[in-house]
C-alpha cells in the first residue's frame, strides 16, 4: 500500500504533489476535529456519572460538538478541493506530457503499437487517474491518518486498548498486503483486455463500411464480442481474487472494534479502568471501525492506482529520439544522404543509399511497392533515425538540429489526408496556429478550396467530422495543401498526393500543388507519368537501393525498371473493356 502511495506521489508534478501533501496535513486536522467528539461525549457522561449534570455541561458539550462538526466541514471542503485540483491537474498534465513525448518517438513505435493501446492510455487510463486514483489515494491516506490520531488519543488514556488497536491494524495491514500481492498476476491480463477492447471497438467503427460491403458483420462482431467477453472475464477474475482478502480485512476490522469494546468492559469490571474511560474506549472502537472500514473498502482499488501509473510511466519511459540539437536555420535547402541504411526490426528497408538533392529542384521517387520510397522521405525529415550513415540538410546533420527547428523546414502532403474534428479554418491554421483569417483565406484560394468552403453552410467555421469524413477525397487533399501553404516550409514532400483523386478534382488539385511548390525543394513519390516526367531528377528505388537515377529521357534510354514502369502505366491507362 505504502509503495503505491509513494509511486502516485512521485508521479505527480511538484505543484500537485504540494497540494496532495497539504491535503494530507489538513487531513490530520480533520482527524483531530473528528476525535473532538469523544471529549464532547465525555463532558456529558462525566456529569451523569458524577450526578453533577448541569446546563454548563450541556452547553460545553454542545459547543465542542459544533466546533468539531464545523471544523470537519471546513477542513473537509478545503481538503476535497485540493485533492480534486491535484487529481485533475495531474491527469491533464500527464495527457499533455504523453502527447509531447509521443511527438518525439520514432515512427516505428506507432507501427508496432496498436491505436487501441495508445488510446487506452491517453483516455481510459488517465480518466481512471483523475476519477479513481486520486480518490482512492486520499481516502486511504485519510483512513491511515484518522486511525493514527485515534491511536494517539487512546495511548494517552489507556496503553492496553491502544496496543489492541495496534495489533488489529497490524493484522488488517497483513491482509491488505496479501491482497495487493494476490492481484499482481491478474493485473496484466486486465490491462491487455482493456487495450484489446478499445482496439476492437475502434477497428469495428472505423471499418464499418468494409464490414457491411463484404458482409463480414458476423465475423467482425464476433471479434468485438470476444474482446468484450475477455474484458468481462479479466475483471471478474480480478474481483474474485480480491473478495476473499476483502472479507478477511472486514473481519479484522470488526474484531478489532469488538475486542477493544470487550477489553474495556473487562478492565472496568476488574477495577483497572474507570467507567468513564471504558465508555469512551467503546465509543472509540466504533470510530476505529468506521476509519478502518473506509480505508479497507478503497484499498482494494490501490492495485488500479499502480496499474494506471505504471501504464503511463511505461509510455513516458520509452526512449525518444535525440532532439536536443540546436535551434538553427540551415544555410541552404540541399538534402544529402550519405551511405544511409535503415532496418525496421530484422528487415532491412534502406540499404546504403547515397544521393544529393539540390535546393529548389524537383526530385521524383518511383519504384515498386515496398521498395522503401516513403521510408526514404521519412529519414530525410527524421521521422526515423538512420541506422547507418547520415542525412544532411544545408550541410548539417539533421541530428544536430532540434526537432522543432528541423520540422519547420518540411511540409508534407500525404496520399491519405487526416483532418481534425474542428472548423475548416482551424484545420488550415494547423500550419500557422496564430494566423489571421485573411491569411487563412488567402492560403485556401491558392489551394483552390476557397470556393467549395464558402458554399458550405457555415463557410470556414464549418466543423468537419473526425478525419475529414464529411468531405470528399479531393476536398480533403486541397485543405491539406492549404495547410502546407500556411506553413510555408522550404522543402515539400508529396507522397502520392494525387493518386486517389477523381478527374473532376484532379485539375484543381494540380493547380493547388503548383501554388504550394513555387520556389521550393520538391520531393515527390508518384506513379503517374505526367507527374514525374518533368522532374529535374528521378530516383528509382527497389529493394531499398537506388537502382537508377536521371531525367525522364535519360531513364527511358535505358532498358531498366523505370522504362518498364512507364510502359506498364501506359498500358494500364489505354486498357479498355471490349
- Please tell me the distance from the alpha carbon of residue 226 to that of residue 234, in angstroms, as a whole number: 12
Q: State residue 570's pLDDT score.
A: 65
Joined together, the cell numbers standing for residue 21 give 501533501
Residue with cell 502516485: 8
Positive or negative CA dihedral for 128, 130, 134, 136? negative
- Please tell me the distance from the alpha carbon of residue 23 to that of residue 110, in angstroms, as a whole number: 39
Cβ neighbours of residue 16 under 8 Å, at least 6 residues apart?
85, 86, 89, 90, 93
pLDDT tens digits, 530-562:
677 778 888 888 888 888 888 888 888 887 888
Q: State residue 506's pLDDT score.
A: 64
Q: State residue 263's pLDDT score.
A: 92
* Distance set, CA 226 to CA 115, 221, 230, 272, 469 (Å): 18, 8, 6, 65, 29
Q: State residue 339's pLDDT score.
A: 92
Map residue 534 onto helix, strand or coil: coil
Q: State residue 469's pLDDT score.
A: 62
Cβ neighbours of residue 490 under 8 Å, at least 6 residues apart?
333, 359, 409, 520, 521
Residue 332, φ and ψ in degrees, nearest 5: -155, 175
Rg of the chain, C-alpha, whole Å:
34
- Concatenated DSSP letters of 367-401: -STTSSHHHHHHHHTTSS--SEEEEEETTEEGGGB
- Concatenated DSSP letters of 429-471: HTTSTT--HHHHHHHHHHTT-HHHHHTSTTGGGPBPPGGGTTS
- Please tell me the distance from the alpha carbon of residue 218 to that of residue 186, in angstroms, as a whole number: 30
Q: For the chain, which ranges sit under pLDDT 50?
A: 574-578
Q: Residue 390 pairs with which residues in a beta bridge? A: 338
Q: State residue 503's pLDDT score.
A: 59
- Mean pLDDT in the chain? 80
Q: State residue 210's pLDDT score.
A: 60
Query: What is the reported pTM?
Result: 0.63
Q: State residue 338's pLDDT score.
A: 92
- Pairing assessment for the beta strands 347-357 and 491-495 based on DSSP bridges: unpaired
* Domain architecture of the chain: domains with CATH: 2-316 (1.20.1560.10), 328-409+530-578 (3.40.50.300)
From the number of C-beta atoms within 10 Å of its C-beta (0-12, 13-18, 19+), residue 499 rates as: middle
Contact 126, 95 (CB under 8 A): yes
Cβ neighbours of residue 240 under 8 Å, at least 6 residues apart?
none
- Please tell me the distance from the alpha carbon of residue 162 to that of residue 264, in angstroms, as a whole number: 11
Residue with cell 468552403: 453
Other Cβ atoms closer than 10 A to 98: 18
Amino acid at each position: 500500500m505504502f509503495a503505491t502511495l509513494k509511486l502516485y506521489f512521485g508521479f505527480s508534478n511538484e505543484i500537485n504533489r504540494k497540494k496532495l501533501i497539504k491535503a494530507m496535513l489538513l487531513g490530520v486536522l480533520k482527524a483531530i476535529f473528528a476525535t473532538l467528539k469523544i471529549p464532547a461525549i465525555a463532558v456529558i457522561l462525566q456529569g451523569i456519572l458524577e450526578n453533577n449534570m448541569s446546563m454548563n455541561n450541556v452547553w460545553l458539550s454542545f459547543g465542542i460538538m459544533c466546533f468539531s462538526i464545523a471544523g470537519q466541514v471546513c477542513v473537509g471542503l478545503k481538503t476535497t478541493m485540493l485533492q480534486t485540483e491535484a487529481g485533475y491537474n495531474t491527469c491533464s498534465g500527464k495527457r499533455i506530457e504523453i502527447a509531447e513525448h509521443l511527438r518525439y518517438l520514432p515512427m516505428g513505435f506507432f507501427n508496432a503499437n496498436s491505436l487501441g493501446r495508445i488510446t487506452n492510455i491517453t483516455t481510459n487510463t488517465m480518466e481512471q487517474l483523475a476519477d479513481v486514483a486520486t480518490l482512492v489515494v486520499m481516502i486511504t491516506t485519510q483512513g491511515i491518518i484518522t486511525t493514527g490520531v485515534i491511536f494517539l488519543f487512546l495511548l494517552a488514556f489507556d496503553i492496553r486498548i491502544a496496543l489492541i488497536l495496534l495489533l488489529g491494524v497490524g493484522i488488517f495491514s497483513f491482509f491488505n498486503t496479501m491482497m495487493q500481492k494476490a492481484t499482481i498476476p491478474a493485473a496484466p491480463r486486465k490491462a491487455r483486455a482493456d487495450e484489446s477492447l478499445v482496439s476492437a471497438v475502434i477497428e469495428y467503427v472505423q471499418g464499418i463500411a468494409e464490414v457491411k460491403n463484404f458482409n463480414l458483420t458476423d465475423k467482425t462482431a464476433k471479434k468485438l464480442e470476444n474482446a468484450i467477453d475477455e474484458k468481462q472475464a479479466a475483471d471478474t477474475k480480478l474481483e474474485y481474487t480480491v473478495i476473499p482478502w476483502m472479507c478477511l480485512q472486514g473481519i479484522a476490522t470488526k474484531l478489532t472494534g469488538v475486542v477493544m469494546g470487550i477489553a474495556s468492559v473487562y478492565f472496568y469490571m476488574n477495577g483497572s479502568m474507570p467507567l468513564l474511560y471504558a465508555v469512551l474506549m467503546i465509543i472509540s472502537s466504533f470510530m476505529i471501525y468506521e476509519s478502518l472500514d473506509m480505508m479497507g473498502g478503497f484499498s482494494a482499488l490501490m492495485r488500479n492506482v499502480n496499474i494506471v501509473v505504471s501504464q503511463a510511466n511505461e509510455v513516458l519511459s520509452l526512449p525518444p529520439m535525440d532532439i536536443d540539437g540546436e535551434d538553427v536555420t540551415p544555410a541552404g535547402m540541399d538534402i544529402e544522404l550519405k551511405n544511409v541504411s535503415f532496418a525496421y526490426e530484422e528487415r532491412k528497408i534502406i540499404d546504403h543509399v547515397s544521393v544529393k538533392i539540390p535546393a529548389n529542384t524537383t526530385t521524383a521517387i518511383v519504384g515498386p511497392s515496398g521498395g522503401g520510397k516513403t521510408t526514404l522521405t521519412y529519414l530525410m525529415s527524421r521521422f526515423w533515425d538512420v541506422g547507418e550513415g547520415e542525412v544532411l540538410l544545408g550541410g548539417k546533420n539533421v541530428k544536430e538540429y532540434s526537432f522543432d527547428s528541423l520540422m519547420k523546414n518540411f511540409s508534407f502532403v500525404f496520399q491519405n489526408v487526416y483532418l481534425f474534428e474542428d472548423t475548416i479554418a482551424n484545420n488550415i491554421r494547423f500550419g500557422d496556429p496564430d494566423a489571421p483569417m485573411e491569411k487563412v483565406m488567402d492560403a485556401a484560394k491558392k489551394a483552390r478550396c476557397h470556393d467549395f468552403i464558402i458554399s458550405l453552410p457555415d463557410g470556414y467555421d464549418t466543423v468537419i467530422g473526425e478525419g475529414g469524413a464529411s468531405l470528399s477525397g479531393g476536398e480533403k487533399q486541397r485543405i491539406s495543401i492549404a495547410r502546407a501553404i500556411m506553413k510555408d516550409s522550404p522543402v515539400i514532400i508529396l507522397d502520392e498526393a494525387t493518386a486517389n483523386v477523381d478527374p473532376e478534382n484532379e485539375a484543381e488539385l494540380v493547380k493547388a500543388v503548383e501554388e504550394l511548390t513555387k520556389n521550393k525543394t520538391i520531393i515527390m513519390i508518384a506513379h503517374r507519368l505526367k507527374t514525374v516526367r518533368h522532374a529535374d531528377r528521378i530516383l528509382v528505388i527497389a529493394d531499398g537501393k537506388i537502382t537508377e537515377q536521371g531525367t525522364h529521357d535519360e531513364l527511358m534510354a535505358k532498358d531498366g525498371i523505370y522504362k518498364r514502369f512507364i510502359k506498364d502505366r501506359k498500358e494500364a491507362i489505354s486498357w479498355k473493356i471490349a
